A and B are shown apart, each in its own frame.
Chain A
Amino acid sequence: AAGVIQSPRHLIKEKRETATLKCYPIPRHDTVYWYQQGPGQDPQFLISFYEKMQSDKGSIPDRFSAQQFSDYHSELNMSSLELGDSALYFCASSLKGLAGEETQYFGPGTRLLVL
């Protein structure tokens, strides 16, 4: 079965640089979530999109932005990178149920290292 695809899998950047992370959801899934997992931490919700519109926002820095495109893939843009942005970034996709019940399926993550 098709899974969530994330690219790149690994990324090394310098401070103050910019990074773009991409996420390709499972076909026919209409919702994408982004999470950040610091070393030894639990994943923290950043932002989500439903049918190409932002649906919820969590602890996402103003330096970050994201969008979902017409083909449902999503990109997380990170500018002015800081050392503390080094983390594993997960994308998850889901299909909204009638009652809002849904199961999120996670991609393998992008490991970002900021030097």
Chain B
Amino acid sequence: GNSVTQMEGPVTLSEEAFLTINCTYTATGYPSLFWYVQYPGEGLQLLLKATKADDKGSNKGFEATYRKETTSFHLEKGSVQVSDSAVYFCALSGPFYNQGGKLIFGQGTELSVKP
């Protein structure tokens, strides 16, 4: 079945450092790919998404490119801030015709940014 694998955390960085969180997936067909962020004690917020191969999702300085050839959707940010400290979830849904719209999540990567 479909699955998502993320790099294990926690990841600890200094402010203004470069961030990469690796995400790979297994799926039939062409799923949609997402990054969600969960701040302490809060719900899941959509960070960015990509719905087809070579699409780049971006938001708040974060970027991720849908790579069909490597089945990856790595999250990057050029300069992290303390306020980026959170748990990041990579997720996929679909393809709709045989998997419906439910999200399948990776195990989450905790990011801690120090001043």
Contacts and interface: CB of A to CB of B under 8 A. Distances in A.
Nearest to B44: A106
Given A101-B32, A101-B51, A43 B44 contact: yes
Interface of B: 32, 34, 36, 42-46, 49, 51, 89, 93-97, 100-108
Interface residues of A, number: 27
A25 interface: no
A53 B32 CA distance: 23
B58 to A, nearest CB: 15
A53 to B, nearest CB: 13
Contact of A31 (B46, B94, B101): B101
Interface stretch (A11-19, A67-75, A92-100): A92-100
A108 B101 CA distance: 20
Interface of A: 31, 33, 35, 41-45, 48, 55-56, 58, 90, 92, 94, 96, 99-109
B94 A100 contact: yes
B43 A90 contact: yes
Nearest to B105: A42
User: Which of A31, A43, A102 has the most B CB atoms < 10 Å from its CB?
Assistant: A43
Given A42-B108, A100-B96, 12 more contacts: A33-B102, A42-B105, A42-B106, A48-B100, A55-B101, A56-B101, A90-B43, A94-B101, A100-B101, A103-B34, A103-B46, A104-B101
Nearest to A101: B51
B51 A55 contact: no
Given A42-B108, A101-B51, A101-B96, A109 B103 contact: no
